[in-house]
Amino acid sequence: MITQIGIVAGEIWHYLDKHGEVMLSDVLSNLSREKDLVLMSVGWLAREGYVVLEKKDSDFKVFLRKTDRIIP
């Protein structure tokens, strides 16, 4: 399960890198993954500081955290 969460987290990161700021419901509907797996992966990304979640009505806005680090 940990491996699957990591793989989906990578897919989410790439999706956000391409699309920018989106609603969590969009991520859920545009990735062909189980809802629970996507939510666990988003949670992992948030916990590690890679994404930001902001409550927006009954949904959440999600986007990549800006960083000054250079990632090779």
Exposed/middle/buried for residue 37 (C-beta within 10 Å: 0-12, 13-18, 19+): middle
pLDDT of 68 reads: 54
Cβ atoms of 54 and 60 closer than 8 Å:
yes
pTM of this structure: 0.88
Whether residue 59 has pLDDT greater than 50: yes
Which CATH code fits 2-64? 1.10.10.10
What are the boundaries of each domain within the chain? 2-64
pLDDT in tens, 42-52: 999 999 999 99
